[in-house]
Structure formats: C-alpha cells, structure tokens
Amino acid sequence: MKLSDARVVIEGLIFASEAPVSAQEIAAITELDVSVVESLVEEIREQHAQGALMIRNVGGGYQMVTKPGLAPWIEKLGRPVVSAPLSAASTETLAIIAYQQPVTKAEIEQIRGVRSDSAINNLLDRELICELGRKAGPGRPILYGVTEKFFEHFGLRSTDELPLKGITEWK
Amino acid sequence: MKLSDARVVIEGLIFASEAPVSAQEIAAITELDVSVVESLVEEIREQHAQGALMIRNVGGGYQMVTKPGLAPWIEKLGRPVVSAPLSAASTETLAIIAYQQPVTKAEIEQIRGVRSDSAINNLLDRELICELGRKAGPGRPILYGVTEKFFEHFGLRSTDELPLKGITEWK
Amino acid sequence: MGYVIELDVYQGPFDLLLDLVAKNEVDLWDIPIAAITEQYLAYLYSLQEKDLAITGEFLVMAATLIRIKSRMLLPQEPPEDETLEESEDPRTELVQQLVRYKFFKEAADFLQQRYAEAARQFTRGQRIESYDLAPVYTCPVGELTLEELRSIYQELISESEKEPPVHTISSTISLEERLALVRLQLMGQPRATFSELVREDSVAEIVVTFLAVLELARLGEIRLIQTKSFGEIDIRPLELEVEVQA
C-alpha cells in the first residue's frame, strides 16, 4: 500500500470507528509501523487545518470531531425550524426591551399591563433578546436587552440609532 | 458570515448530524440561501476529493460517509454489519411499497401472488417501512410506505430515483 | 393441509411462470399455454416426489393455467366485432399480472444492487449527545420594521401614562352613590339596557355601575338577561314585571 493510500485508509478508519481507535489498532489493520501511522495522522491533521474537522487524541486513541468553534451552529442541529412571524405580544415586548434596555420582566409587564413570560421566552428562543445580568435590589430580577442578531436584522449599530430614542424623559 | 466560514460550518453540520441534513435545514441554521448552501456543499465535495470521506445525497439530505473503496479496511474495525441482507421476498415487497405507496397488504399480495405477512413484518422490524394510516373502505386496511431509513440504507435521494418510475400503464 | 412451506427457489407462482417463459424463450405476450402448463405441473410433481410441501398459491395457479388451457381449446366463435377479439384472449389477465410482477422483480434487483453499494459507505462512528430542541427561527422578526417597532412602543408608553391609577376610582365614585343613581334611572321604566345606564361614563364609572347593577340583582330588585357573551345586558325591574303579568 502506498503511503498516500494509507493516509486515506487511516482517515476513513478514524471517521468510521465507533470508539476512539488507537495507533496500534490502525497499525494492525494497515500492516504499517505505529510510527508511520502516527506521522500519517499528523498529515491528515494538516489536511484538515482549513476545514471543520479535527482529530483529537482521546482515551488512548484518535477520534474525529468538529472544531470547538463550530459548537454554536452544531447545537442547532435537529431542532425544529419555525418561520412563524412575531406575535403582537412578542413585538410589544421587543419594542419595550429595545427602547428601555436593560429592563426587567416586572418593568415590561407594568408597561404592557399583562404577564409577558411567554413573549420573553419566545424572544429568547429567537435570539432577539438575551439576559444582561441581574438588577441590584430585592429579588435581583433578570435584566433583558437586545442581541447582535436584533441589530443585524434592523441594520442598526446600537440602540442609539432607534428612531426617536430621545423620548425617554418620563423614565 | 463569510462564505469560507460558511463552508466550514456546513461541513461541520453535515459531519455532526445524526440523520441526513437537508439544504433547507442548513440554510435555516446558517441564514444563507438554499442555492448558496448547495454550491458550498459542492465546494466541500471537491475539497474531499483526495480524502477518505464523501458527501452523499440521501433521503432529501446530505450525509458524510467513507468512500466505498475503503469498505474492506473499515470492516476490519469490527463494526457490526448494518444488518443481514434482505431476503428476495422482503426486497420484492419493499420494491412494491416504494413504488406504490401508500399501499395495503392485499394490494402487495395481489402483485406478488403470495402471502406477504412475514415480509411486511420483517420490513417493519428493520424500520424500512412504516404504517401511514388506514385506507377508507371496508376493513379499513393499513397503508404502508417507506421510511427515511429506507432512503439511507439504499443511498437514494427520493423515490424519484427508482428506475422507470414512469412505468405504470398496467396500473 | 401441508401447504405451509414456501418454495425456496421461487418467490411464488408468478416467479416460476416467468422463469419457464424465459427458459422457453417465448414471448410473454403470446405464451404457449399448453406447453407452459405442462412444465409448470411437471415442476410441482417433482417437488412432491422430493416430499417438499407446496403452498396453496402454486396450486391455485395450476388450476388457473388448466382453465385457460381448456378455454383456448374451445372452438372460437366468429367475432362480431374486431375489437372484441383481443380482449377475449383467456391469457390476457394472467399476462398483465406477470408483466406487473416482472416490473417489481426487476425493481427489487435494483434495490439489492443499491443496498450492496450503500452498505460499503460507512457513516460516522461516534454519536453526539442530543441537544435540547428549542426551535430555530428562519425569520425571527418576520416583516416587522423599525418604524412599526417605534410606533408600537410609543403607543404602549402613551397608554400606560394615560390610564389613571386604580385607587383613584374608588375614591371618586362610591358604590352606594351609584346604587342610588341606578335606582333613580330605572324608576318607572319597564326595562333598560346596561349601555343606556353608562352612556357617557369613563371606564372607572362603568365598572362601578356594573357592580351596582350586580348588587341590585342580588337584592332581588332587578333581573339581568344576557343572551350571549359580551352581548347587551337587559335589565328588568322585578316589581314592574310582576304587575305586568298580573
């Protein structure tokens, strides 16, 4: 077997193995020296330098995994995809958060006059708002604010760019 | 997101997904157009041209697998064989269900000319077919159809890939 | 009956017949039925000699073949109509079944091939943990514009500023006063509606009037009739009603 072929075989073995596969196991299957296997694994690593995958050493073997930076995207796999527009309740809640951030749930409910838990959860799911921390004082309520994604969607740089942002003297 | 980053994200998603992942799902996660996703997948395919892995279209999605030529080595890993080969009776029954779904047991038996209970049970056990509901009319017989797993097992994109799907003049 | 074990060589009578047609190199659409029937029966006899059980379907087909053969031996009546002749060929139904079966048998071969191919492609070995299933939103803000967001916010703020605090309601209009007022308004009336009572009132006054009306009903001075939710409430002073009936 040519070394270039061996490299491909090793890549396939590491990908397909249920458990991490050791250099010794690979050497036994490919009939190569362990040292050759190890240097070929290094070559495969270099090959994947620009891609999504990497080979990590784990439990005495090699295992192919995605690079850590991809986790936020990969976590979204298998989730249902929803394209429903925002409800009126969520839109109201989003408006209040955008103009008043950082703001607590109680403050939002005072303005809207109704409970807003489900609207807040919906906005969190849509990643339009996030928790900014906790307010000092009794109960230390969670403070909400809008996210990068919110700014992206409306083409804004910051909340200062919201129309008529100045009108907050009653606050 | 830059397209080069997007390509890496897509590679990671296809690698990490438990089930084949569709261009639509990837588009939803990455917030890219489906057509952009499709062309990036082609780029990833080219990237892997020299390696051990390939992306196949199966059941309306993408799935990363080892290239067929590596099978002899990967079998040495002691991976359990996916499943015993299908009997001729089960394959015939499966072919009829794939082409004619939704279809009842009586309709299958009429075509095959023999009882098909055990073939149907076998296919249900292997999760290659499933019950789709019941047909209106006397006895309300169960309707069968093929599953996602069917497409995966046979490396098919959809039932449209079945040969001569058009030949139905005898119907 | 001992006809329980399926023939392991053939999937069924159609399979056997197709094989005989292929071996004889004859046209499927013009089967020499006498010869094929003979071979079909010979095959079944050979199985019997080997003590192999024959399933019922094979015997049913044997009967069918013999029936077709005998019908073909009957002298043909002169056809009244040219088009009728072909449909009266006793083999037609069987041939159609065979053609249909042959199609699926070939499709099954195709599937076997694809299966063998796909089995050589290995998926990733390791499993990743499943994550929670919060949905992914494709258009999280929908059609919402910045201008709409602003006007919604302004409306909310002006609404929340306009509404007077709750405690001032009870301090300005007492229930006792309103009770007296409603009694006055109903005096001498055979009936009235709730909206007549509150025509010019603010929300706070409507609430107190409603409480007063409920109180009068509790005291048995009036009867309230509402035919549907949020519909008009009819008020009938009870003393008057009694007089009318008498």
What is the DSSP annotation of B40-76? HHHHHHHHTTTSSEEEEEETTEEEEEE-GGGHHHHGG
pLDDT band of C168, cuts 50, 70, 90: very low
C165-174 long-range contacts (CB < 8 A, ≥24 apart) are C168/C204, C169/C204, C169/C207, C169/C208, C172/C204, C173/C204, C173/C205, C173/C208, C174/C208
Question: Which tokens sit at C54?
Answer: 């024959």
Q: What pLDDT, on a 0 to 100 scale, did the predictor assign at position C128?
A: 54
Nearest to B61, CA basis, from B24, B104, B7, B110: B24
pLDDT band of C231, cuts 50, 70, 90: confident
Q: What pLDDT, on a 0 to 100 scale, did the predictor assign at position C15?
A: 92
Across B12-36, average pLDDT: 91
pLDDT of C4 > 50? The answer is: no
Torsional sign, CA B25, B29, B34, B37: negative
Q: Are B28 and B50 in a shared domain?
A: yes
Point out the domain boundary residue: A41, A75, A109. Answer: A75
pLDDT band of C32, cuts 50, 70, 90: very high
Examine residue A144 and state whether it is found in any structural domain, yes or no: yes
Q: What pLDDT, on a 0 to 100 scale, did the predictor assign at position A4?
A: 77
Interface with chain B: mutation pick from A14, A54, A74, A82, highest number of B CBs within 10 Å = A74
The answer to whether the CB of A13 falls within 8 A of the CB of B74 is yes
Q: What pLDDT, on a 0 to 100 scale, did the predictor assign at position C3?
A: 40
Which one has a higher pLDDT value, C145 or B8?
B8
Q: Which residue of C has its CA nearest to A109?
A: C160
Examine residue A80 and state whether it is found in any structural domain, yes or no: no
* pLDDT digits 0-9 by tens, B9-18: 999 999 988 7
Point out the domain boundary residue: B23, B46, B75. Answer: B75
Q: What pLDDT, on a 0 to 100 scale, did the predictor assign at position C77?
A: 62
Across B56-82, average pLDDT: 83
Q: Are A92 and A71 in a shared domain?
A: no
First to last CA, chain C: 90
pLDDT band of B153, cuts 50, 70, 90: confident
Q: Which amino acid belongs to residue C38?
A: E
Examine residue A166 and state whether it is found in any structural domain, yes or no: no
* pLDDT digits 0-9 by tens, C137-153: 767 777 788 888 888 88
Q: Are B59 and B100 in a shared domain?
A: no
Q: What pLDDT, on a 0 to 100 scale, did the predictor assign at position A171?
A: 43
Examine residue B50 and state whether it is found in any structural domain, yes or no: yes
**What is the C-alpha separation between C236 and C240, in angstroms, rounded?**
8
Looking at residue A152, which CATH number applies to its domain?
Answer: 1.10.10.10
Q: Which residue spans within chain C are E strands per DSSP? A: 136-137, 192-193, 222-226, 233-237
Q: What pLDDT, on a 0 to 100 scale, did the predictor assign at position C173?
A: 66
Examine residue B57 and state whether it is found in any structural domain, yes or no: yes
pLDDT of C131 > 90? The answer is: no
pLDDT band of C169, cuts 50, 70, 90: very low
Based on the structure, what is the number of domains in chain A? 2
Q: Are B156 and B96 in a shared domain?
A: yes
Q: Are B71 and B119 in a shared domain?
A: no
Q: What pLDDT, on a 0 to 100 scale, did the predictor assign at position C167?
A: 47
Examine residue B150 and state whether it is found in any structural domain, yes or no: yes
Touching subunits of C (3+ CB pairs, under 8 Å) are A, B
Q: Are A65 and A100 in a shared domain?
A: no
Q: Which residue of B has its CA nearest to C61?
A: B113
Strand partners, B63: B56
**What is the C-alpha separation between B105 and B62, in angstroms, rounded?**
32
CB nearest to A128's CB, from C128, C141, C160: C141
Q: Are A98 and A123 in a shared domain?
A: yes
Question: Which tokens sit at A40?
Answer: 């070929």
Q: Are B7 and B51 in a shared domain?
A: yes
Q: Which helix (H) or strand (E) holds A18?
A: none
Q: What pLDDT, on a 0 to 100 scale, did the predictor assign at position C149?
A: 83
Q: Does B107 touch chain C (CB under 8 A)?
A: no
Question: Which tokens sit at C176?
Answer: 């006792």
Highest averaged pLDDT of the listed ranges B2-16, C47-61, C201-215? B2-16
**pLDDT more than 70, % of chain B:** 92
| C122–B66 C-beta distance less than 8 A | yes
Highest averaged pLDDT of the listed ranges A23-32, B146-155, B162-171? A23-32
Q: What pLDDT, on a 0 to 100 scale, did the predictor assign at position B158?
A: 83
**What is the C-alpha separation between B118 and B112, in angstroms, rounded?**
13
Q: Which residue spans within C200-245 are E strands per DSSP? A: 222-226, 233-237
Q: What pLDDT, on a 0 to 100 scale, did the predictor assign at position B108?
A: 95
* β pairing state of A53-58 and A103-104: unpaired
* pLDDT digits 0-9 by tens, B35-55: 999 999 999 999 999 999 999
pLDDT profile of chain A (171 residues), mean per 10: 87 90 92 94 94 87 88 80 82 91 91 90 90 88 91 81 63 43
Q: Are A61 and A33 in a shared domain?
A: yes
Examine residue B169 and state whether it is found in any structural domain, yes or no: no
Q: How many residues does chain B have?
A: 171
Examine residue B170 and state whether it is found in any structural domain, yes or no: no
Q: What pLDDT, on a 0 to 100 scale, did the predictor assign at position B27?
A: 93
pLDDT of C72 > 80? The answer is: yes
Which one has a higher pLDDT value, C128 or C104?
C104
Q: What angle do CA B163, C121, B73 make, to 5 degrees?
A: 140
Q: What pLDDT, on a 0 to 100 scale, did the predictor assign at position C5?
A: 41
Q: Are B101 and B133 in a shared domain?
A: yes
Interface with chain C: mutation pick from B73, B77, B111, highest number of C CBs within 10 Å = B111
Q: Does B15 touch chain C (CB under 8 A)?
A: yes
Q: Does A16 touch chain B (CB under 8 A)?
A: yes
pLDDT band of B165, cuts 50, 70, 90: low
Q: Are B9 and B41 in a shared domain?
A: yes
Q: Are B120 and B62 in a shared domain?
A: no
Which residues form the domain of A26? 3-75
Pseudo-torsion of CA C212, C213, C218, C224, nearest 10°?
A: -170
pLDDT band of C194, cuts 50, 70, 90: confident
Q: What pLDDT, on a 0 to 100 scale, did the predictor assign at position A165?
A: 66
Point out the domain boundary residue: B75, B96, B121. Answer: B75
Q: Which residue of C has its CA nearest to A167?
A: C154
